[in-house]
Amino acid sequence: MSELQRHLKQQQLLPSTRVQYLAIVERSGEEPVEWLRKRLNARTPIGTVLPYRAAIKHLLMSEHGYTDEEVKALLPKAKGRPTAFRHALSPELLAIYHTLVDALPDPSRTILTLLPKTGLRIGEICGLADDNLQTVQGVRSLVFRGKRDKERIVPLSSSAERTLDAYLDSRERVSEWLFPNQMGAPISQHAVRKYTRGIAAKHPDFAGLSPHVLRHTFATMALRRGMDLKTLQALLGHESLETTSRYLHPEVRDLKDAIERVG
């Protein structure tokens, strides 16, 4: 195991994130800072830029001995085109979505049903083990370690609990993973994403559908139903309240409701 691999593991990053960062570093060559500098421009989506910068930062800290402050001074500041705003599914589309997902095979069916009910990231739900499902203070919950080794508890709603229990009752337990593939390893994000891409390709109303849109849908529904930002921040696993506040974009439906209240 290289110093970088060891460092990324110590940072408690998701396995999918570690793989992404290692691939970026491999592409960066012998001059990673210069490689990064050439890719930071106003035309590149900021969602692409940030992983580039994070990967090079971890490389410099793990294999070259730089401190966090030294890295901040050395690396160019991230700049790029804002990521296109992806709307949450409306309640009507969400109902249709669940009908379409019901026809899919497990475990992808259960995962895609749970995403808008839990707000989990696709990498988080694919990597769940059986022991992540726990009862905390009498409440069935998903418990796991998030960024910086912080414990995160996501209680299951009654609907999510029924979905998960139906899956557990029907599956053959072949490994320690909650959602294993046919080889017994955790199901890959790619295996799940192919179904959201398939739905988007066949149904124009679902153009742009992705696991992140489903996470956005959870957050939007939570805010509409009165959940405060601090609670939503804890459920989504955001380190910063500013990150959570990005879900405050009002939808047209919200603007219409506001106008009606004005009279």
Positions annotated as catalytic residues are: 121, 147, 212, 215, 238, 247
Peptide bond into 107 cis (omega under 30): yes
Those residues whose C-beta lies under 8 Å from the C-beta of residue 11, and which sit 6 or more positions away, are 58, 147, 148
Q: Tokens for 40?
A: 């930071």
Note whether 187 and 175 are within 8 A (CB): no
Supply 179's token pair. 């959602």
Question: What is each CA distance from 100 to 22, 95, 105, 112, 195, in whole angstroms?
Answer: 36, 9, 11, 10, 10
CA atoms within 13 A on the CB side of 77: 2
The token pair that represents 130 in the structure block: 């059986």
Name the residue among 144, 106, 151 with its Cα closest to residue 125. 144
Contact 8, 22 (CB under 8 A): yes
In 98-135, which positions are buried (b, 16+ CB within 10 angstroms) versus exposed (e)?
Answer: eebbeebeebbbbbbbbbbbbbbbbbbbbbbeeebbee
